[in-house]
C-alpha cells in the first residue's frame, strides 16, 4: 500500500514539473511572439482547444487568417508548437531577403522532425545526401529512365490491372505503393524495390518520424532527449534497412567489386553507389550511416510525391478536358522520342499542370495559399 502511494506521489510530481515547464515555455514563447496576432486563443490551456480545432479545420483557419491579416503575419497554436504564417507579397519579399543565419528552413525541419533523435545527428552534421540528390541522381536519371518506366508500368499493372469493368481503388494507398516501388527501382534496383518489407519500412518510417517527432515536441526541451530515446523509430528501422541493404553493400563495396567500372544503365548505378562516392572515408562509409541516408531520402521523396500525384489525379478527375489535352501532349512527345527523359522534358503542359496543382494543394493546409510562408516556434 505504502509503495503504491509513493508511485502516485512520484507520478504526480513528474506531472506537476511537466505542466510547470510547459507553462514557463508558453510564457517565453508568448513574449517572443507578442507582436503577432493570434488566430484562436493564446491562453496556456485554452490554446490547446484552438490547437485541437486546427486538426479538423486547418484549411478554414488559415483561410480566415489570410483574409484578416493579408500583407502581414498571424500565429496559430498547434498541439506541439506555434505556427507563424506570413502572407502577402510585401511580407514574402522581406522573408526572401533574409539570410540563412536569420531564417533557416533546414533548422526548422530539424526541429519539427526532431531529426537528431529520429534520424541521427550525422545526417545534419554533413547533409551530403542533398548534394547527391541534386547532382548524381539528377544526372543519372536519363540512363536509368527505361527501368523507372518499366517499374511504373509493372506497378500500375499489378495494383490496378487493366480490365473492362470499373473498379474502386483507394487512391493514396495505391499511389504510395507505386511511388515507393518506382523511386526505389532507381534508389536500390530490383528485386529490393518490390520487397514487401522494404516498401513497408520506407512508407511507414516517414509516418513514424512525423508522429514520434510530434510526441517528442510536446515535452520541454530538457526532457526531449530522454523521451526521444524511449520512442525513436531509429534503431529498429535502421536494423531492418541494414538487413536489406547488406547484400547490395557487399556486392559493390565488399571484396568482389570496385565502384569505378559500373555501367550507368545498370541497376548497380544506384543511390547507394552515389552516396558511397560522396561519403568521406571512415564513419560515413559504414553500412549504418549509408542506410540511414537511404531511409532519409525515402522520407523526403515518397509521401511528397504521392500526395502531389494524388492531388493531380483529383484535378484530372474533376476536369476530364484537362486529361484530353495532356494525353495529346504525352502521345506526341512519346511518339517522337519514345519513353525517355528527353520526352518528359518536352511535356510543357504536363509540367505546368503539375506545378499548378501543387500550388493549389501542396502537402499541408497552408501550401494551397500563395504566397504564404510558415514558421514554427
> Toward ligand HEM, which CB reaches closer, 39 or 238?
238
Q: Cell for 156? A: 500500375
Minimal distance, residue 255 CB to ligand HEM, in Å: 30
Minimal distance, residue 348 CB to ligand HEM, in Å: 18
Minimal distance, residue 375 CB to ligand HEM, in Å: 13
142 counts as binding ligand HEM under rule CB under 6 A: no
> Toward ligand HEM, which CB reaches closer, 62 or 308?
308
Q: Which of 33, 58, 130, 287 binds ligand HEM (CB under 6 A)?
A: 130
Minimal distance, residue 191 CB to ligand HEM, in Å: 21
> Toward ligand HEM, which CB reaches closer, 39 or 78?
78
Rounded distance, CA 172 to CA 14, Å?
41
Residues 222, 224, 230, 234: is their CA dihedral positive or negative?
A: negative
Rounded distance, CA 8 to CA 30, Å?
32
Stretch that binds ligand HEM, among 24-32, 35-43, 127-135, 150-158 (CB under 6 A): 127-135
> Toward ligand HEM, which CB reaches closer, 127 or 225?
127
Minimal distance, residue 213 CB to ligand HEM, in Å: 14
Minimal distance, residue 95 CB to ligand HEM, in Å: 12
Binding mask 351-370 for ligand HEM (x = CB under 6 A): ------------x-------
Minimal distance, residue 310 CB to ligand HEM, in Å: 11
Residues in 276-315 at the binding interface with ligand HEM, rule: CB under 6 A:
296-297, 300-301, 304-305, 308
Q: Which of 95, 103, 133, 172 binds ligand HEM (CB under 6 A)?
A: 133
**Which residues in this chain contact ligand HEM in the complex, by CB under 6 A?**
105-106, 109, 127, 129-130, 133, 137, 296-297, 300-301, 304-305, 308, 363
Amino acid at each position: 500500500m505504502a509503495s503504491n502511494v509513493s508511485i502516485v506521489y512520484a507520478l504526480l510530481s513528474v506531472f506537476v514539473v511537466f505542466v510547470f515547464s510547459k507553462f514557463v515555455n508558453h510564457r517565453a514563447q508568448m513574449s517572443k511572439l507578442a507582436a503577432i496576432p493570434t488566430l484562436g486563443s493564446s491562453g496556456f490551456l485554452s490554446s490547446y482547444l484552438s490547437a485541437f480545432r486546427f486538426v479538423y479545420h486547418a484549411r478554414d483557419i488559415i483561410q480566415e487568417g489570410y483574409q484578416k491579416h493579408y500583407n502581414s503575419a498571424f500565429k496559430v497554436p498547434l498541439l506541439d508548437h506555434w505556427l507563424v504564417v506570413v502572407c502577402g507579397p510585401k511580407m514574402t519579399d522581406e522573408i526572401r531577403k533574409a539570410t540563412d543565419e536569420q531564417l533557416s528552413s533546414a533548422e526548422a525541419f530539424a526541429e519539427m522532425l526532431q531529426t537528431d533523435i529520429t534520424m541521427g545527428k550525422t545526417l545534419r552534421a554533413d547533409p551530403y545526401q542533398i548534394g547527391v540528390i541534386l547532382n548524381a541522381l539528377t544526372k543519372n536519371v536519363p540512363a536509368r529512365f527505361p527501368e523507372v518506366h518499366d517499374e511504373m508500368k509493372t506497378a500500375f499493372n499489378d495494383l490496378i490491372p487493366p480490365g473492362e469493368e470499373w473498379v474502386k481503388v483507394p487512391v493514396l494507398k495505391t499511389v504510395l505503393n507505386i511511388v515507393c516501388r518506382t523511386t526505389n527501382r532507381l534508389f536500390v534496383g530490383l528485386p529490393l524495390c518490390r520487397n514487401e518489407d522494404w516498401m513497408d519500412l520506407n512508407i511507414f518510417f516517414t509516418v513514424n518520424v512525423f508522429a514520434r517527432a510530434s510526441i517528442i515536441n510536446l515535452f520541454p526541451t530538457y526532457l526531449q532527449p530522454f523521451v526521444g530515446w524511449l520512442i525513436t523509430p531509429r534503431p529498429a528501422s535502421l536494423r531492418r534497412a541494414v538487413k536489406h541493404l547488406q547484400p547490395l553493400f557487399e556486392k559493390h563495396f565488399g571484396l568482389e567489386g570496385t565502384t569505378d567500372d559500373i555501367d550507368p544503365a545498370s541497376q548497380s548505378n544506384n543511390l547507394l553507389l552515389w552516396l558511397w562516392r560522396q561519403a568521406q572515408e571512415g564513419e560515413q562509409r559504414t553500412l549504418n550511416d549509408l542506410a540511414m541516408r537511404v531511409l532519409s531520402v525515402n522520407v523526403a521523396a515518397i509521401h511528397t510525391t504521392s500526395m502531389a500525384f494524388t492531388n493531380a489525379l483529383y484535378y484530372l478527375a474533376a476536369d476530364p478536358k484537362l486529361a484530353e489535352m495532356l494525353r495529346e501532349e504525352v502521345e506526341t512527345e512519346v511518339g517522337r522520342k519514345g519513353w525517355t527523359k528527353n520526352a518528359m522534358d518536352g511535356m510543357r503542359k504536363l509540367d505546368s499542370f503539375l506545378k499548378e496543382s501543387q500550388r493549389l494543394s501542396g502537402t499541408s493546409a497552408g501550401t494551397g495559399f500563395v504566397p504564404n510562408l510558415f514558421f514554427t516556434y
